[in-house]
Amino acid sequence: IGSSISDHDNWDGADRPRFINSAVAEEQRIFSRLEKLGSSPNTFRWRANQMIVPMGEQRKKPFRQPAPGASIDEVWGREPQRQIKRPSRIILVRHGESQGNTDEDVYGKVSDWRISLTDKGRTQAARAADFVKDVVGNREVFFYYSPYSRAVETCQIMLEAFDPIKVRGIREDPRMAEQQFGNLQDPEMMKRIKNERHEYGRFFYRFPSGEAGLDVYSRVTSFIATIKRDHVEEDCAVVIVTHGLSLRLFLMAWFRWTVEQFESTQNPPNCGVAVLERVDGTYRLTDATCEMIGCVNDSPTSPCIGELWEKDDEGATGARSPVVEKGPPVGVEAPASGEVSAQVLCRSRSPRQQEVSAQVLCR
d(CA 212, CA 203): 6
- Pairing of β 140-145 and β 236-242: parallel
* 8 Å CB contact between 106 and 250: no
Mean pLDDT, residues 121-125 taken together? 97
pLDDT of res. 81 = 56
CB neighbour list of residue 141: distance below 8 Å, 6 or more residues apart: 162, 166, 167, 168, 236, 237, 238, 239
**From the CB of residue 100, how many other CB atoms can be counted at a distance below 10 Å?**
18
Render pLDDT for 299-332 as a digit per residue (tens, 0 to 9): 554 444 334 444 344 444 444 444 444 444 444 4
Instruction: Compute the Cα dihedral for 40, 42, 47, 50 and give only its sign.
Output: negative
Confidence (pLDDT) at 188? 85
Residue-level pLDDT at 20: 53
What is the reported pLDDT for 56? 43
What pLDDT does residue 18 have?
54
Catalytic residue among 95, 97, 153, 211: 95
Q: Is 95 a catalytic residue?
A: yes
What whole-number distance in Å separates Cα of residue 75 and Cα of residue 64? Answer: 8
Could you give the percent of the chain with pLDDT greater than 70?
Answer: 59
Q: Average pLDDT of the chain?
A: 76
Closest among 260, 293, 264 to 92, alpha carbons compared: 293
Respond yes or no: is residue 260 known to be catalytic.
no
- Report pLDDT digits (tens) over 36-76: 665 665 554 444 444 444 444 444 455 556 666 666 566 55
Measured CA distances, 70 to 46, 48, 65, 74, 354 (Å)? 20, 22, 10, 6, 35
pTM over 0.75: no
Q: What is the pLDDT of residue 174?
A: 96
pLDDT at 303: 46
The whole-angstrom separation of Cα 38 and Cα 227 is 52
Per-residue DSSP letters for 257-311? --HHHHHT--PPPTT-EEEEEEETTEEEE-HHHHHHHT--S-------GGGS--B
User: By mean pLDDT, which of 38-52, 170-184, 250-264 is the weakest?
Assistant: 38-52
d(C-alpha 337, C-alpha 139), whole Å: 62
* Mean of pLDDT values over 86-113: 93
User: CA–CA separation, 97 vs 196, rounded Å?
Assistant: 25
Catalytic position from the list 27, 178, 231, 243: 178
Residue 102 pLDDT: 94
Contact between residue 212 and residue 203 where contact means Cβ atoms under 8 Å apart: yes
Compute the distance between CA of residue 85 and CA of residue 137 in angstroms, rounded to an integer. 18
Burial class, 250, CB count within 10 angstroms (exposed 0-12 / middle 13-18 / buried 19+): buried
